[in-house]
Amino acid sequence: MAAKSKGMKAYVLIETAPGKTKAIRKALGSVSKGAVANLDAVTGPYDFIAVVEGPTLDAIGRLVTDEIGAINGVTRTTTCVAISLT
């Protein structure tokens, strides 16, 4: 499945501090309107995987560093930019 033709999409893998997952889930809900297209709590080395969208790679970078990474209790993020193979 290809990314939407408008803008870019990325998967953000989010690690949280122990006991902070509920507060972080709530905080992720108030990140830039419409920027977080989907958010799932997951098992394994990460606590959440967020699908984020933005008009440019720079916009996604700012979203991850300025908003998601700045949430109290987020200890690490890994961003995987979706690409088209066609």
How far apart (Å, rounded) are the C-alpha atoms in residues 82 and 49? 13
79 C-beta neighbours (distance < 10 Å), count: 19
How far apart (Å, rounded) are the C-alpha atoms in residues 55 and 74? 24
How far apart (Å, rounded) are the C-alpha atoms in residues 77 and 85? 25
pLDDT in tens, 6-56: 689 999 999 999 999 999 999 998 888 779 999 999 999 999 999 999 999
pLDDT in tens, 43-81: 999 999 999 999 999 999 999 999 999 999 999 999 999
Q: pTM score, two decimals?
A: 0.87
